[in-house]
Structure 1
Amino acid sequence: MELTIQLKSLADKIIQLKDKIETEESTKHAFVLPFINMLGYDAFNPLEVVPEFTADIGLKKGEKVDYAIFQSGEPILIVECKSWKENLSVHSSQLFRYFHVTKTRFALLTNGIQYQFYTDLDEKNKMDQKPFLEFDIINLKENSIIEIAKFHKSSFNVDHILNNASALKYTKEIKKEINDELENPSNDFIKLFANKVYAGRLTEKVMEEFKMLVQKAFNQFINEKINDRLNAALNKETIKQQEEKTEPIEEASKVVTSDEELEAYRIVVAILRRKIPVNRIVPRDTQSYFGILLDDNNRKPLCRLHLNGTKKYLGLFNENKIEIKHHIQSIDDIYQFEKELLETVGAYEGK
């Protein structure tokens, strides 16, 4: 979750700043180094991130790749950067040359917005022509974030990434082929479906008709699938809202909130605000008790104050949301139940 938030923050920063970034060097410092930091590597520690890493090629000396990320004294990822305005497709050959003279199994080509991760699936120690992972940081998909997380310092494992790299690479290629077929179906694709539903001879005219029908059928099929998912989500949300219906509002004339109840409520807020924002701690006064809810949700009671009788009680809730009343001499005794109140919040927040 933290990585997702960090990537979203960097994407917002890029959108705001990119038109003011003019050079490759500025792109490195404003966009690429923050990304490397997000992966858990200290860009200012030369034992982890080496700028201008030497990658001499044969007799050609002085060749340098922009960054090399190290772990346990070995390079695990080399990074070649370009200006955010550059098209990466014309620069992969440069990274290809660097790859086979280093010990790393992974290479990254980026302009700070587009990221292309390469490895050597086709031939060992020789960088593949196509990346196995490619994404646009401004338009990140959830599955891409999952793959990015695998390069984090805390979870980096060469074998795990390589085992999944092949599936990623070919899945990406298959998705591209599917997209191409949907936009402009090939004859083989059209015949695949026409032969299943049409008994006649597939003349040129018939093929032209089926090209339109195949495109139309697939678009309708995809739209129907999307609508089914949306309707299922909406129905689920409707059921949830019905389950969380608020208690009937009692007549205002029958509910009187005392100063003592308000003061007790402020004590509860003072305890819980260390874990959650104040606006999530919502009072709900009734004739029989003064309730305090999380997010104004009746299914998330934090506590109940029973202060209007001859004896005062603080009602707390166990893991089954069953109220257990605790006798208190005064509202100041609420501070003695600080741990229980914080644990109740933690249970709702999944912590």
Structure 2
Amino acid sequence: MNLTDLRVEAWDRLDPVHRDFFAGGAGEERTLRANEAAFDSYRILPRVLRGGGERDLRTPLLGGTLSMPVLVSPTAFHRLAHPEGEVGCARAVAAAGTVLVLSMAATTPIEAVAAAPGGDGPPLRFWFQLYPQPDLGFTESLVRRAEAAGARALVVTVDSPVFGRRERDLRNGFLDLPPELCCENMRDPETGRVRDIVLDPDLGWAQVDWLRATTRLPVVLKGVLHPADARLAVAHGVDAVWVSNHGGRQLDGAAAAVDALPAVVAAVEGRIPVLLDGGIRRGSDVLTALALGAVAVGVGRPVLWGLAARGGAGVGQVLDLFRADLARVMTLAGAVRPADLGPDLLTRAVPG
């Protein structure tokens, strides 16, 4: 019936330690909870007698067109959730006609994920998520691999100069992958050795400028919450910003993503697209984010629930649920296409 049903099924199938890794957040998980709860503060003011026939969910973004304004956020270690892993996810995303943002911490190499759909079906459209490594030579090799495999953008995660304190993982002793799995994209092309992902506390705008000079792919900054950083992103020639708090997994106490969205949208003044993830669970959440100025939203944990419950078929079900639910709530709100959605369709709930 809905994502909650898939989550229950996934919980029954997952190793409890791995379930906590996927579900958990940093610290006391205040931001994790706030991401979903923040959507409850918005109410939809629907328009009526608008007609318009079938909803058109197609969304232009970074030189392509998504079948709907919902894409798959980068999440690590898909083969912990299901043996099909990133390959099963990629096939479902290709069939849905949207974009997979492939994690640098994938348990399947870029090249295998890009080739996964195969056959006569639509090819996978994917972006590659990147933590710039202090070793810029290795970082450049990752960029070249992503380019060669057909990535259409680079998504730079900028909210992680260090790892957040994820207390569920610490209590469970989950410090590494099982021996049969690894971060395949971190395998050194010369030695075959798998490198550790190194988070860089010195990460700054110089690395962003270096990346812009290194690739012709669009560069998206993921993890922007402050409007001043959004303005700097525009000044540094970034192609899009992604409002996110890393699913509540980094800075506990950070603002809920949807609460930070309007100020970021105002800061960029329409010069570049704004995306959002964090707490998106239903079509009404997607509508709210789009009405507040996001061009598209990313979903992470729901995709992992579908994958854990039913493999790639479950991911397809998650995307189908979002598509149908968004079309339904847009119809009920009197909107034909995403561009029709604006802040006039929202009001704030009265506390208490």
TM (normalized to structure 2)?
0.25
TM (normalized to structure 1)?
0.25
Higher relative contact order (CA 8 A, sep 6+): 2
User: Bigger radius of gyration, 1 or 2?
Assistant: 1
The structure richer in helix per residue is 1
The structure richer in strand per residue is 1
